[in-house]
Copies of this chain bind each other. A is one copy, B any other.
C-alpha cells in the first residue's frame, strides 16, 4: 500500500529584477510539472534579493497584498499546470503592517491558504524584525482551551494533502513542527533563505549548514512526517557594506518520515529537484515508533514559559 505524491523543489539565485526572478521560478515549476510534479515548493522571498540585509523604509515598497501580483502569477501557473504551488512573498496587510507570508495556490488557481511566519529572526544581515510583524494566527484566547478549534500553526488543506507550511526561522523550533503534526499535517514544508557569512571559516560555515539540515531532518523523525525544504543559492552583497554579504547555500532537500534523504540539491546550482513521497509511509513509521502515543502532556506545561527560573 502506498500513496505517492510527486513533488518538486525549486532553488535559484535572485536578482534585483523581479521579472527575472519570476521567470526563474516559473522555469523551475514548468520543469517539475513536465516531470509530473503535483506539488511545488519555492524558496523564501523568491521574487527579490534577500532585502533584509539592511533596514530601509524604502524597501516596504516591495510588499504586496494577498490577493495581489504574486498570487495572480502563481495562481495562473498552478491552474495551467494543474499542480499545487507553495510560494512566498512580502505581504502588505495594512499600512505599516507587513508579514513574511507563504501562500498556497490550489491547482484550480485559487488561494488554498496562507501562513504568516511566526518566529522572526534578527541578527547581523538578517534584520527581519524591522520588516516583518510576527504571525498572529491563533494567539489570543486559545491556550489550554481544549474545546476551542485548533488555531495557529495550522496546516493548509489542499488537493494533495494537509500541508504544514512554515517559513525559515521557524525551522529551528521543534514546537512549530510538533504543533503542525498535532493538527494533522501530512507534510512539513519550509521555504527558506539562509546562507553563510563568507568571512566565517569554512568549517564554521559547514557546521551551520549541517545544523540547519539536521534540525529539519529531526522534525521528520520526531513527528514521523516527510519534510520539504527550499533554499536560495548565490552570493548577495550587503548594499551597506556593513557585513560581508550572504552566500546562500542552497542544499534544498526532501526527507522521509525517518529523516532519510529522498532528494538533495547542490549548494550553488539552480535546480528543480523531483521527489516521490509515499504519504502512507508515515502511518507505518508511526506504528513502529509511536511517539505521539507517549508524549507526557501532563508534564509539558512549562513549554509556554520563556525560561524556567
Residues of A within 8 A of B (CB): 118-121, 123, 134, 137-139, 142-146, 150, 152-153, 169, 172-176, 178-179, 182-184, 207-208, 210-211, 214-215, 217-219, 221-222, 258-260, 288-292, 294-309
Residues A211 and B299 in contact, CB atoms below 8 Å apart: no
Residues B291 and A300 in contact, CB atoms below 8 Å apart: no
Q: Could you tell me the distance between the alpha carbons of A260 and B206 in the complex, rounded to whole angstroms?
A: 10
Q: Could you tell me the distance between the alpha carbons of A119 and B306 in the complex, rounded to whole angstroms?
A: 23
Residues B258 and A208 in contact, CB atoms below 8 Å apart: yes
Across the interface, A307 reaches (CB within 8 A) one of B153, B260, B292, B305, namely B292
Residues A175 and B178 in contact, CB atoms below 8 Å apart: yes
Inter-chain contacts of A143 with B (CB < 8 A): 298, 301-302
Q: Can you report 23 A-B residue pairs in the complex whose CB atoms are below 8 A from each other? A: A118-B296, A121-B294, A137-B299, A139-B296, A143-B301, A150-B302, A152-B302, A153-B299, A172-B222, A173-B296, A174-B175, A174-B222, A175-B303, A176-B296, A179-B300, A179-B303, A182-B307, A210-B260, A211-B260, A214-B214, A215-B218, A217-B218, A218-B219
Inter-chain contacts of A217 with B (CB < 8 A): 214, 218
Residues A139 and B175 in contact, CB atoms below 8 Å apart: no
